[in-house]
């Protein structure tokens, strides 16, 4: 967790965009029945929340 705290705002925003794209792809795979490990949806969603929390704390 300490690594994520040291990221700069631009890096966090870039990571947020990447995570949102990844989550969208995972949702499509899940809907099509092609996502064998459904727990990754939850992990990705929580990682998005962590990044958003860090961005809001910096403001």
Contact call for residues 5 and 54 (beta carbons, < 8 A): yes
| Calpha distance 8→31 (Å, rounded) | 34
Residue 1, pLDDT score: 46
Contact call for residues 47 and 21 (beta carbons, < 8 A): no
Task: List, in order of start, the domains of the chain with CATH numbers.
Answer: 7-58 (1.10.287)
pLDDT in tens, the chain (59 residues): 445 555 688 899 999 999 999 999 999 999 999 999 999 999 999 999 999 999 999 77
Alpha-carbon torsion angle 8, 10, 15, 21, nearest 10: 170
Query: Phi and psi (nearest 5°) for 7?
Result: -70, 150
């Amino acid at each position: 967790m300490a690594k994520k705290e040291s990221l700069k705002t631009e890096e966090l925003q870039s990571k947020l965009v990447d995570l949102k794209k990844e989550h969208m792809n995972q949702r499509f795979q899940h809907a099509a029945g092609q996502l064998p490990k459904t727990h990754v949806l939850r992990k990705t969603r929580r990682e998005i929340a962590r990044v958003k929390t860090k961005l809001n704390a910096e403001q």
